[in-house]
Chain A
Amino acid sequence: AQSVTQLDSQVPVFEEAPVELRCNYSSSVSVYLFWYVQYPNQGLQLLLKYLSGSTLVKGINGFEAEFNKSQTSFHLRKPSVHISDTAEYFCAVKRGTGGGADGLTFGKGTHLIIQP
């Protein structure tokens, strides 16, 4: 089974400052990794995903994440945040060998709070 740990439940950051949201995973098999964002009263929107290849993955809204296999991490970063980035961010993992039927295993989420 897979598990995901998002150590920070809440991260306050000043506008235009850089941010890193941490995600660590545990799995006995290869995995695919995802970051989703949830704006207030909305569904989950895919920010980016790592399937294979380059360990640095770029997503929407200026976010990027780096897959580190030795540290089993997939931290999300943005060099300069905006008020509109205030949202809940979820890291998720899926078995790389599981096929389309497999569900995603989510972390508990990190609430990113942008302060003016």
Chain B
Amino acid sequence: EPEVTQTPSHQVTQMGQEVILRCVPISNHLYFYWYRQILGQKVEFLVSFYNNEISEKSEIFDDQFSVERPDGSNFTLKIRSTKLEDSAMYFCASNPQGETDGYTFGSGTRLTVV
């Protein structure tokens, strides 16, 4: 069964450093998403991406964050200057095309900011 792949599974970074989280969505999917889950809290929507541009974003997704699909297969989330409170599990998801389709999630990247 097709999967959404995320790398790395765990990343440790120093406060103030830039970090890039990588995702390979399912190849024929058209919508891509990033979510985060701070330890012990709910999964929160960050951003959706369609046709090479951001479609929707939450209030969490401020100027520190950016997304890109650099080469037609990877989908990346960049955090420019990490803060301690950015420590969380980040999930990538993709969706074939429509609102009635299920979202397929990756296994997540655990980001630890020290």
Contacts and interface: CB of A to CB of B under 8 A. Distances in A.
Given A46-B103, A94-B99, A101 B42 contact: no
Interface residues of B, number: 33
Given A43-B91, A101-B31, A32 B100 contact: yes
Contacts of B47: 103
B35 interface: yes
Contacts of B41: 108
Contacts, number: 71
Interface residues of A, number: 27
B102 A100 contact: no
A99 interface: yes
B112 interface: no
Interface in A73-107: 90, 92, 94, 96, 98-107
B106 interface: yes
B7 interface: no
Contacts of A34: 102-103
A101 B102 CA distance: 13
B26 to A, nearest CB: 13
- Looking at chain B's contact residues, the main secondary structure is strand
Given A100-B30, A105-B45, A43 B98 contact: no
Given A44-B43, A45-B105, A96-B99, A102 B48 contact: yes
A98 B104 CA distance: 18
Contact of A100 (B43, B91, B99, B105): B99
Nearest to B92: A43
B108 A103 contact: no
B48 A43 contact: no
B99 A103 contact: no
A103 B35 contact: yes
A44 B35 CA distance: 11
Interface of A: 32, 34, 36, 41-46, 49, 51, 90, 92, 94, 96, 98-109
